[in-house]
Amino acid sequence: MNDCIFCKIVAGQLPSKQVFENDELLVFHDIHPAAPVHLLIIPKVHIASLVECKAQHEGLLGRMLLLAPRLAREHGLNDGFRTSINTGRGGGQEVFHLHIHVFGGGKMPHLI
């Protein structure tokens, strides 16, 4: 996607403070953190949102979720952390490229 900010980060066209990369995933610090630690796990392939995922993405989604606790530990979130996948405008999604927020390190507001 030519206008996707996360695709531009994957392509190296925009800078990011990366913390992890492999063949299919990229992880970097959110530029507008909601907590002292706020990471974004994104697939390198463009998938607009969770609702766009199909059975073929099952392994990718599992690897994204399994990476979250590893990154949380590496960033000192030993007392716990939160993950979030905002889906669609009504779900708070602002960048339409699938991503998992991993955040913590401070007093977290209670959600439903």
Catalytic residues: 99
| In contact, 19 and 71? CB cutoff 8 Å | yes
How far separated are the first and last CA of the chain, in Å rounded? 34
Determine the longest span between alpha carbons in the chain, in angstroms: 39
